[in-house]
Structure 1
């Protein structure tokens, strides 16, 4: 299978790239000119892996036309945590993806006579939580609308991803920040009250879920959505306390020192019934996942 994957330099995108390259698929890895690709350096010399760079919608649609992939997996995004302005966030989370949609509608992919599937990495956050959540929700709506209008050409599956974690994630992520603070025995870690309940899912389980959905894509409607998570929740306080325990840290956890952000979601959990029906089950427990992350970090 020929897969066009966006965001290959990111945490999830690179994990998918490594997995699918190992499965023998042909990969076209689409990245912005400024994106670092250190996570996939070892894939660059593989004959079935092609690195593509594009920044404008015109360049993106042209590359999709040239490569003619069987499917498109969209993971590229901007969280807005690194000084990006609203235009930057919108460009990454809405414009780039819309260019992919337009390329498919133009008939630029390999699926002559059948709809081309786009797996989109969506969000479970409400649009009023952040510009990231707003722009991601808007793109999901665009994809669903266009697929409903042109089901013969486009199948759009929105993967509503819960709280992913794992080794090698960005330092700006909450999970990584907590683990690094505990490993370095920071004297004090300022936190919210931690009453929010979250569904944590290890990146290895996420990769298997994406692969499972891709394998069974023909079982989805033209405009569809599916939850990706463990189906279980723990409070943020419970997560932090578990990370501290596994790390053997002496860090003082100062719950309540930080207020909740505006419009904070207090409960996020996946309904895993559809994934389970496809044969997928999570394999990595939160305790095992945190233990492996901490063991890997201490071995480096």
Structure 2
């Protein structure tokens, strides 16, 4: 299968590239002109890298690649000083430009619908600019696919709290692990009552692959939860990290206030994913031990 993947420099994107490259898929990677692909340096000779940012450039990529599927992992979390326009550009404009290019190309060439696997969010729109923009793009994708099902198939993957080796330092899980590994004296936290669904990157990759393989079982505009299906409190998660690392760090629960509109429960309904013959293979304790043992 010919797959065009956005966000290849990221944690999820690079992991999917490695997995699908091993399985012989024809991979085309769409990256910003400034993106660094160090995570995939050893694979760059075996994949096609396309650099684009403007709508015209993105349309040219679609015309050249003619992908069977577009897997959209590119995003901006807004944690590194990005402006509101930067977040909108990464999380909405890029995706809509690709969707528009796909529909126009398929119309002109008389091609069958192209599958678009979107990496969505489970957070409510009011939590952050990231969740607002991701939710809005998911709605755009669903509406466009419903209006032109002969040109586009849109599946929104509602991804839960992913973790694994090589993840970004700016993320909460990495921050907690590094603090405990370095045995910092104190770690300021919220009360930790939020319930989260933690899923290892290996299980995420298998879920994406299974959805890709079984795409014929989805409607032209569809959505599916991807997570472990288990809810664990943030407090229990942090205490587990401390236990596994053997840290003496004092966990200051309640030192940080909850953010406005904090999501208190995020957990996947995995019934549909399990119906595709998928099940989680990496329990949280084992996943954390692997991660900590690797030192990354």
Return the TM-score normalized by structure 2.
0.98
> Relative to 1, partners in 2 of residues 1:259 and 1:111: Cα closer, same or farther, differing over 3 Å?
farther
Say whether the 8 Å CA contact 1:69–1:109 is kept in structure 2. no
1:26 aligns to what? 26
2:73 aligns to what? 75
Q: What SS class does the counterpart of residue 268 from structure 1 fall into?
A: coil
Q: Deviations over 1:49-76 (max 9, x none)?
A: 1111111121111111111111000000
Q: How is 1:1-300 mapped onto 2 (pairs within 5 angstroms)?
A: 1-46=1-46, 49-108=47-106, 113-297=111-295
How big is the shift at 1:103? 1.2
Say whether the 8 Å CA contact 1:230–1:282 is kept in structure 2. yes
Q: 4+ residue runs of structure 1 moved beyond 6 angstroms?
A: none
Q: What SS class does the counterpart of residue 65 from structure 1 fall into?
A: helix
How big is the shift at 1:108? 4.8
Say whether the 8 Å CA contact 2:183–2:248 is kept in structure 1. yes
Q: Deviations over 1:263-285 (max 9, x none)?
A: 00000000001110000000000
Say whether the 8 Å CA contact 2:162–2:200 is kept in structure 1. yes
State the distance in 1 between where 2:29 and 2:183 align. 38
Say whether the 8 Å CA contact 1:187–1:250 is kept in structure 2. yes
> Relative to 1, partners in 2 of residues 1:93 and 1:109: Cα closer, same or farther, differing over 3 Å?
farther
Q: Which runs of 5+ in 1 are unaligned?
A: none
State the distance in 2 between where 1:54 and 1:187 align. 45
State the distance in 1 between where 2:126 and 2:242 align. 31
Q: What SS class does the counterpart of residue 9 from structure 1 fall into?
A: coil
Q: Deviations over 1:174-224 (max 9, x none)?
A: 000000000000000000000000000000100000000000011100100
The number of residues matched between the two structures is: 296
> Relative to 1, partners in 2 of residues 1:183 and 1:29: Cα closer, same or farther, differing over 3 Å?
same
Q: What SS class does the counterpart of residue 123 from structure 1 fall into?
A: coil
Q: What SS class does the counterpart of residue 55 from structure 1 fall into?
A: coil
What RMSD, in angstroms, separates the aligned Cα atoms of the two structures?
1.3
Q: Which runs of 5+ in 2 are unaligned?
A: none
